[in-house]
Amino acid sequence: MGGLLSRLGPGMMLAAVAVGVSHLVFSTQAGANYGLSLVWLILLVVALKYPAFHFAVQYASATGRSLVTGYAKIGKIALTWLVVGFFVDTFIATGAVAMVTAGLFISVFNLPFSGPQVAVALMVISAAILMNGQYIRAERLVKVFVLAFSVLAIVATLFALPLIGEGGRAVFAELTPSRGLAIFVIAVAGWMPMPLNGSVQISKWVVEKRNASGGKFDHRQALSDFRIGYGLTLILALCFLLMGTAVLFDAEYVAPSNPGDFATELLGIFTTVIGEWSYPVIAVASLAVMWSTQIALMDVMPRLTDRLLGIITGRADDAPSRYSKFLIGQVIGVSIILLFLLQGFTSFLYFATSMGFVAAPAIAYYNYVAMTSDDVPAEFRPGAKLIIWNWISVFAMAVFALAFLYLSLTR
């Protein structure tokens, strides 16, 4: 078992980032609001995003470099898209995750502070843990938390299955076309299982894992690790959809408007299906997995930003890392957003997740360009089926992105 855990890494970091807002919030709300009617959406979006993540892992394991380098070789337009994506992930996405994590802490410990205040405190603590910049430390914390929480979620889902449709309650909702439904679908698609910017993140984690293992984390292991992590994101998304359906659907559900209330509801779902006795275990596991999501984001974004700005400014590849400085900058930026610019918890989550889809088509396209470039040895380049799959994904995600922009401009 220890040998298997040591071989896992980037895929678990990917799963940690995914489990946060998209799973605990939107998968649960999809089940609560629409029952099993949106199962197709989760399956579709996870399938659409697969090629872009696959290309990212392949590129990093074949070249020993992250996609930041690949984008830099493509051109300035590609780098511009990357800058937009990095801004969203560094400040907006991290802020959204911090708010959900804060909600859990407030609920479990009955803290007399606001969501933004607790979120900022957690970011400061997380930064202190990560300040020495060691990837392995973050990986060890994250994969234990994710695997423990995954087991708990799967067990809870098994308990929840008999409750679906209990007492004559409906299982499927009538999906009447509306602006509200369209916005929710786009939000789910934006961060299910996570934004495509995450493909750049996992490429960096693969490079870090290779370096930390002395090159023993090879191409085959990288792809296997990725598939395990990516598959886990799908399983957990379906778990929370099923639990939301079993406990909340057709039960006069109203989405909470603040992180503390949402966290209370989330923990209540687990205790409803397993039993009140399980609350301490569920609370600890939920806190751990959400905090691991935050740690994973705070670990990777300063690393990527350091590399990106180094390329833009012509800084030498072997120059000393500025990880700590960018980590501090991330904490300050997110703190300003949460303390002074946050208008509402629910609207902020919708904005963060929807923004994740704006850059998605371009990222899927540029990952393909990087993967089929001369930098990648011929034996590592994708086959025709994966390339066709990716082009279908680019087109579909472009439609989602245009729909989001249209809805945003026609309010």
Phi-psi region of 216 (alpha: psi -120 to 50; beta: other; left: phi over 0): alpha
Six-digit token string for 29: 């709300």
Tell me which H or E stretch contains 363: helix 360-371
For 56-76, write each residue's pLDDT tens digit.
Answer: 999 999 999 999 999 989 988
**Residue tagged 């040591």 (tokens):** 6
Distance CA 135, CA 137 (A): 5
**Number of helices and strands (H, E) in the chain?**
18, 0
The beta strands (E) that lie in 9-132 are given as none
Enter the pTM of the model.
Answer: 0.87
Secondary structure (3-state) at 92 = helix
> What is the reported pLDDT for 259?
57
Show the domains of the chain with their CATH numbers.
Answer: 2-409 (1.20.1740.10)
Q: At 203, phi and psi to the nearest 5?
A: -65, -35
Distance CA 337, CA 344 (A): 11
Instruction: Write the CB contacts of 384 (distance below 8 Å, at least 6 apart in sequence).
Output: none
Q: At 172, phi and psi to the nearest 5?
A: -115, 145
> What is the reported pLDDT for 214?
78
Long-range contacts of 375-382 (CB under 8 A, 24+ apart): 375/59, 375/63, 375/65, 375/70, 375/73, 376/58, 376/59, 376/62, 376/63, 377/62, 380/58, 380/61, 380/62, 380/219, 382/51, 382/54, 382/55, 382/58
Secondary structure (3-state) at 35 = strand
Phi-psi region of 144 (alpha: psi -120 to 50; beta: other; left: phi over 0): alpha
Which residues does the chain have with pLDDT short of 50?
A: 1
Q: At 35, phi and psi to the nearest 5?
A: 60, -135
Six-digit token string for 155: 């067990």
Distance CA 295, CA 212 (A): 18
Beta bridge partners of residue 172, listed in sequence order: 35
Instruction: Write the CB contacts of 249 (distance below 8 Å, at least 6 apart in sequence).
Output: 31, 32, 33, 34, 35, 169, 170, 171, 173
Distance CA 326, CA 344 (A): 27
Q: Which of 196, 190, 220 is nearest to 206 (CA)?
A: 220
Angle of the 179-190 helix axis to the 39-63 helix axis, nearest 10: 30
Residue 404 is classified by DSSP as: H
CB atoms within 10 A of CB 1: 5
